[in-house]
Amino acid sequence: MKVLMVITSHDQLGDTGRKTGFWLEELAAPYYRFRDAGWDVTLASPRGGRPPLDPKSNEPDFQTDLTRRFEADADAEAQLDTTLRLDSVSADDFDTVFYPGGHGPMWDLAEDPTSIALIEQVVRSGKAIALVCHAPGALRHVKTPEGTPLVAGRKVTGFTDTEEEAVGLTKVVPFLVEDELVAKGAHFSKADDWQPYVVTDGRLVTGQNPASSGPAADKLISLVQKIDK
C-alpha cells in the first residue's frame, strides 16, 4: 500500500513572532504505524523540502518513544528533508492520504488550492483519507462533486475550542477548527481535552488531537485493507 502524508510548510504563528509548523507526534506516530504495516510512505508539503517543525512539539513534555524513534531514524529524517512539492504529486498514485496537524495547516493547507483539489480527488475516487488535530481545518473549503461542503452532514472531530483555549491561541489562529466545521454543517463530536478520540464517517477519518494521531492511522489502515479486499 502507498500512503501520502501531507505536511504543512507554514512556520509563523500568526503575528506573535513565534514559530509553528507540524506537530512531531502527529507525523511520527502515523509514520511508524504505516511503515510497520509494510506500507510505502511518501511525504509532501506545499513548498517541498524540509517542512517546519513546531518547536514546542519537541519539548521533553511532548516527546514520545515514537518521536524519539523518528529523530534517530536516518531514513525518516532524510525523507523529511526532501518532501515532495504538493503540486508534483497525484492522488491517483496513492492508496490513501493522511494529514498530520500542528497549527501550520490552518494557514497554508486550509487555503491551498492544490491541497483542496487533492482531497476532492481522493473523495471522488472512493479512497479513504484521515486528518488529525488542526488538519481537519484543511477541509473548510473542500466540496463534494455536487458543490456542497464535504463535511456537511458528516461526523467529524478535530482540535476543540477548549483545547485551543487551553493553549491560549483562540485569538491567534485564523479560525477555530471546531467552530469552522460546525459552520460548514458537520456533526462535530469530541472527547475530553487531550484524550484520544477518532471519528469515522464512511471513508473519512478525523482525530481530535496529538494523542489521536496513532489511533487515526490504525483506523485508516483498517479501512484501506477493507477497501482492498
Banded model confidence at residue 162, pLDDT cuts 50, 70, 90: very high
**Which pTM does this prediction carry?**
0.98
Q: Is the pLDDT of residue 229 over 90?
A: no
* Partners of 4 in the β-ladder: 42, 97
Residue range 121-149, pLDDT digits in tens: 999 999 999 999 999 999 999 999 999 99
Given a contact cutoff of 8 angstroms between Cβ atoms, the answer to whether 158 and 137 are in contact is: yes
pLDDT of residue 225: 93
For residues 41 and 79, the answer to whether their CB atoms sit within 8 Å is yes
Question: What distance in Å separates the CA atoms of residue 226 and residue 229, rounded to the nearest whole number?
Answer: 5
Q: What is the DSSP letter of 94?
A: -
> What are the Cα distances from residue 90, in Å, to 2, 19, 95, 96, 105?
12, 30, 11, 11, 19
When pLDDT is averaged across residues 199-213 and rounded to a whole number, the result is 98
* pLDDT, position 133: 98
The Cα–Cα gap between 179 and 199 comes to: 17
Average pLDDT, the chain: 97
Q: Looking at residue 138, what is its pLDDT?
A: 98
The mean pLDDT of 78-97, rounded to a whole number, is: 97
Pick from 183, 202, 229: which is nearest to 128 by CA? 202
C-alpha cell at 148: 456542497
Residue 228 banded pLDDT, cuts 50, 70, 90: confident
Encode pLDDT of 179-199 as tens digits.
999 999 999 999 999 999 999
pLDDT tens figures, 19-32: 999 999 999 999 99
Question: What does residue 218 show for φ and ψ, rounded to 5 degrees?
Answer: -60, -45
What pLDDT sits at residue 28? Answer: 98
Average pLDDT over residues 61-76: 97
Domains of the chain, with CATH numbers? 2-228 (3.40.50.880)
Task: Report phi then psi at 181, rounded to 5.
Answer: -65, -40
